[in-house]
Amino acid sequence: MVLSREYARSLLVNATVASGITFVVHNLLDLADMKGLFTEAIPREYVGKTFGEYAARLKVGGQMLIGVLENTGQSLEIKREALREAQKTAHIGTLVENLRRVKSMEPNKPVLAPPDHHVIASHALAIVIGRPNIPGKEARA
């Protein structure tokens, strides 16, 4: 993992104003801890459903969904797909707005703590704390 100067500064500032924050960050990023922070694929049946619906599913398995990482994968292909979808309207105002949205798409955009009604888009990964509690299965590293 590469730490940028901005990240290091932010961590230092937070460590001085928020008691224990360095321990929290250390535990979240500790690969030996099976309850750390990671991303995982979202099942196809949850694409188009809400953040709240998927969070409830993961909670049953002992995980906590804290956000989604949007626009993951090949950014050119994702934009092409979004452009095709954006053009599927006859209303000029909607078309212009859709094209603006495609132009402003950010690859690997983290959306942390979205509202429960946030719709999960295709090409998104779940940002999760904790490994699933699946009896008989070993935790992933």
Contact by Cβ (8 Å): 46, 126: no
Contact by Cβ (8 Å): 67, 114: yes
The answer as to whether 113 is a domain residue is: yes
The answer as to whether 139 is a domain residue is: no
Q: Provide the residue range defining the domain that includes 101.
A: 74-106
- pLDDT averaged over consecutive 10-residue blocks of the chain (141 residues)? 67 72 77 78 97 96 95 86 84 84 88 97 94 53 39
pTM across the whole model: 0.73
Structure tokens at 139: 């935790």
pLDDT for 91: 86
CA–CA separation, 67 and 53 (whole Å): 13
Number of domains in the chain: 3
CA–CA separation, 4 and 24 (whole Å): 19
